[in-house]
Amino acid sequence: MADPRPDSSSRTRAARPAGEGAAFSPLYRQIKELLVQSLERGEWKPGELIPSEIDLAARFQVSQGTVRKAVDELAAEHLLLRRQGKGTFVATHHEARVRYRFLRLAPDEDSEGGRAESRILECRRLRAPAEIARALELRVGETVVMIRRQLSMNHRPTVIDDIWLPGSVFRGLTLELLTANKAPLYGLFETEFGVSMVRADEKLRAVAAPAEVAGLLGVAAGTPMLQVDRVSYTYGDRPVEVRRGLYLTDRYHYRNSLN
């Protein structure tokens, strides 16, 4: 089995002071990149404890403070989770505080509650349309898995999601598997296919409900809706999901925090 640790040349590059050679990023950013590479290789699985800052400092031949700063950034980006008195763990979509950071819909009234119930309406394999292929960095015509899902908030149909995934990555993803799944969708992707969604880019716009979607949500065609177009990425900024969500917002709003 190959040694999962960075090779000696990687450790040398990481330990080289910023400004030498071609590496101009701060030292802690170089350590952060090495940690992300370890996550991408699966050296530490979702939910697992990573080595202590002291051990990582020895491994990369840098100070503990440098490692701490790298880990702090990864924790702020939700790739790692710190647990007081227990250590630092790889984030998993099976944990609530990670699971719901990708669901931004919140009730206007606290009494409404925000628990989502998912129902898979469709799952099929097809050739990627040009727009989807471009977003997923595939060739036009490559196979994608297309999922249509209905989300109900407080037992009321509220969201229709159309989701496209690379077929080569999600071999074996079927309607039967999705219907039987009780975990969050991203949790299923993580457990069954080894794909962790670590960040997403989104675009929002106001639209009128198409007749087909309106029928699924029990509203009139042309009802005002919020359209959310998302591209989700795994480690290494590799796109692995395109999603278009149509949201009813008469009782809910799309919430975001800007830092």
What is the share, in percent, of the chain residues with pLDDT greater than 90? Answer: 54
Mean pLDDT within 117-145: 95
Rounded CA gap, 247 and 224, in Å?
A: 9
State the pLDDT confidence band at 20, using cuts at 50, 70 and 90. very low
Q: What is the pLDDT of residues 209-229, one digit of tens each?
A: 999 999 999 999 999 999 999
Q: Is residue 93 scored above 90 in pLDDT? A: no
pTM: 0.74
Please give the domain boundaries of the chain with CATH numbers for all domains: 27-90 (1.10.10.10), 105-254 (3.40.1410.10)
Q: What DSSP string runs through 106-145?
A: EESSGGG---EEEEEEEEEEEEPPHHHHHHHT--TT-EEE
Q: Is residue 106 scored above 80 in pLDDT? A: no
Q: Is residue 79 scored above 70 in pLDDT? A: yes
Rounded CA gap, 197 and 175, in Å?
A: 21
Q: Which helix (H) or strand (E) holds 227?
A: strand 224-234
